[in-house]
Amino acid sequence: MYQDKQHRIALISVDGDPAIEIGQEEAGGQNVYVRQVGYALAKLGWQVDMFTRRSSHDQAAIVQHSPNCRTIRLKAGPAGFMGRDVLFNHLSEFIAEFQRFQQQQGFQYSLIHTNYWLSSWVGMELKKLQPLIQVHTYHSLGAVKYRSVDNIPLVATQRLAIEKACLETVDCVVATSPQEQQHMRLLVSSKGRIEMIPCGTDIEKFGEISRSTAREKLGIAPDAKMVLYVGRFDRRKGIETLVRSVAKSRFRDGGNLQLFIGGGSRPGQSDGLERDRIANIVTELKLDDCTKFTGRLDDTVLPFYYAAADVCVVPSHYEPFGLVAIEAMASHTPVVASNVGGLQFTVVPEITGLLAPPKDEDAFTVAIDRILANSAWRDELSVAGRQRVEIAFSWDSVASRLTQLYTRLLAQPEAKPQIAA
Ligand code: UDP
């Protein structure tokens, strides 16, 4: 249905490469979102090109994921890992490369979907150069993030101004939860168009494995009380709260409690420092014997960890959406999460898991212990969590809602496809 050039779309995610390994520094939910949305849109017939920064000469410039879906890496600044807050200075080069790419291909995109504030700026600049419909997903809002961090970076003023301009001027902003939508209205601007379309998850990959099969594969005893964290090492993720709450659990001594902390880190980078900080707290609290740092969990093992766990904990200080919560629920595992942002939308307290105030280790201990203490109730939460994800959070349903949005926007009279001279 959408196979002509008119239905070619660009997903732009300068800082979040959809084709790289997930779980390390600055590679998390946004990368997964772009990749999965790209795949799912391609299945619906769109020609999807996902644009990101090429961070090393070893990386392929183009990765073809499926006949209709590819990642295209463009130069922006010198090779090597570049933190998000420095990347802004190199975006003009990215824009020039994007234009060169269109020129070479002989067409211009008529619709782009940008991700994170850096790419929103890229989109707004491109809009000055060619007719374009721009849809944007923030993934994180500076106005919310800076309320919960101690050191506000220099780039903050610029970011806040760009996020405001974006909401007020692009064709549509996609909020991934009602909470994010509310934050945009209260903290960013009362102007601009917002549509709420949640993030999704792979309901086939997550949810097929039974707890016993998963435990057998991972060598975890059937009677172990397994608490799981999955995510990046970043202070905002609140891993310290989880570790301190596990130390107070009544299952700690003699209860066969096991804490698994999943996620990668790079020595010397900030996530490596956070990992070391967490490891020191584990040692200080004498939890070394029952704690395992698994390192980065790739697609071949991640579904086993989710399926094996009794409870998955998402203790973030702030979370615009929080993919890990729905991945766990899809895997029949109840979630204990902070009562913040999108987690208030995905986790239904007492039905699919429990919510606790962020940084409140005592409240997390109580919530985790309630689930560990009652396996019949845990099973009820599991069933309800899986149902909730099937109904509300599959990538296919996300992609069809995005398709409806794009199609509506493209049908506007000013949105005709452009063929480059
Ligand atoms: N993830 C992964 N392997 C890991 C750690 C994390 O694949 O070792 C994935 C996880 O499954 C999820 C994403 O990284 O899809 C994290 O997304 P989330 O929205 O929870 O957090 P963000 O990284 O966006 O802050």
* Residue-level pLDDT, tens digit, the chain, 421 residues: 333 455 899 999 999 999 998 766 677 899 999 999 999 999 999 999 999 999 999 999 999 999 999 999 999 999 988 888 899 999 999 999 999 999 999 999 999 999 999 999 999 999 999 999 999 999 999 999 888 777 888 889 999 999 999 999 999 999 999 999 999 999 999 999 999 999 999 999 999 999 999 999 999 999 999 999 999 999 999 999 999 999 999 999 888 999 999 998 877 777 889 999 999 999 999 999 999 999 999 999 999 999 999 999 999 999 999 999 999 999 999 999 999 999 999 999 999 999 999 999 999 999 999 999 999 999 999 999 999 999 999 999 999 999 999 999 999 876 554 444 3
Nearest atom within ligand 1 for CA of residue 314: 20
Q: What is the pLDDT of residues 160-209, one digit of tens each?
A: 999 999 999 999 999 999 999 999 999 999 999 999 999 999 999 999 99
In angstroms, what is the span from residue 356 Cα to ligand 1's centroid? 21
The correct CATH number of 211-392 out of 3.40.50.2000, 3.30.750.24, 3.30.230.80, 3.90.600.10 is 3.40.50.2000
Q: How many CB atoms lie within 10 A of CB 30?
A: 26
Looking at residue 6, its pLDDT comes to 56
CA 129 / ligand 1 centre spacing (Å):
35
By three-state DSSP, how is residue 179 classified?
helix
**Does the beta carbon of 32 lie inside 6 Å of ligand 1?**
yes
Do residues 74 and 53 lie in contact, with contact meaning Cβ atoms separated by under 8 Å?
yes
Residue in the block written with tokens 């799981």: 228
The closest-lying atom of ligand 1 relative to the alpha carbon of residue 30 is 24
Count the alpha carbons within 13 Å of 227 in the hemisphere toward its beta carbon: 31
Atom of ligand 1 nearest to the CA of 139: 24
342 in ligand 1 pocket by Cβ < 6 Å?
no
Query: 230 CA to middle of ligand 1, Å?
Result: 7
- How far is the centre of ligand 1, averaged over its atoms, from the C-alpha of 202 (Å)? 13
Q: What is the whole-number distance in angstroms between the Cα of residue 302 and the centre of ligand 1? A: 10
Ligand 1 neighbour 296 (Cβ under 6 A):
yes
Ligand 1 and 228: CB distance under 6 A: no
Q: Do domains 5-200+395-410 and 211-392 have the same CATH topology?
A: yes
Tokens 């066969």 correspond to 256
CA of 2 to the centre of ligand 1 (A): 31
Q: Is 154 exposed, middle or buried (0-12, 13-18, 19+ CB in 10 A)?
A: exposed
Neighbours of 34 (CB within 10 A): 28
* Residue 2, C-beta contacts closer than 8 angstroms, at least 6 positions apart: 44, 45, 46, 47
Handedness of CA 54, 173, 7, 121 (dihedral sign): negative
CA of 262 to the centre of ligand 1 (A): 10
Max Cα–Cα distance, the chain, nearest Å: 74
d(C-alpha 396, C-alpha 314), whole Å: 25
Task: CATH number for 5-200+395-410: choose from 3.90.850.10, 2.30.30.90, 3.40.50.2000, 3.40.50.2030.
Answer: 3.40.50.2000
Contacts of 52 (CB under 8 A, 6+ apart): 12, 13, 14, 15, 16, 17, 18, 19, 34, 71, 72, 73, 74
Domain boundaries, the chain: 5-200+395-410, 211-392
Spacing of C-alpha 258 from chain mean position: 26
Please report, for residues 133, 203, 244, 258, the alpha-carbon distance to residue 39 in angstroms, rounded to integers and kept in the order given: 21, 14, 39, 36
Please tell me if the CB atom of residue 230 comes closer than 6 angstroms to any atom of ligand 1. yes
User: Which ligand 1 atom is at minimum distance from the Cα of 324?
Assistant: 20
What local confidence, expressed as pLDDT, does residue 24 receive?
66
Q: Is 321 in the pocket of ligand 1 (CB under 6 A)?
A: yes
C-beta of 320 in contact with ligand 1 (< 6 A): no
**Ligand 1 contact via 312 beta carbon (within 6 Å):** no
Is 208 within 8 Å of 230 (Cβ atoms)?
no
Q: 175 pairs with which residues across the strands? A: 196
- Type of residue at 222: P
Look at the block and give the residue holding tokens 């990215």. Answer: 94
Is residue 49 classed as helix, strand or coil in its secondary structure? strand
**pLDDT, position 25:** 64
152 alpha carbon – ligand 1 mean position (Å): 24
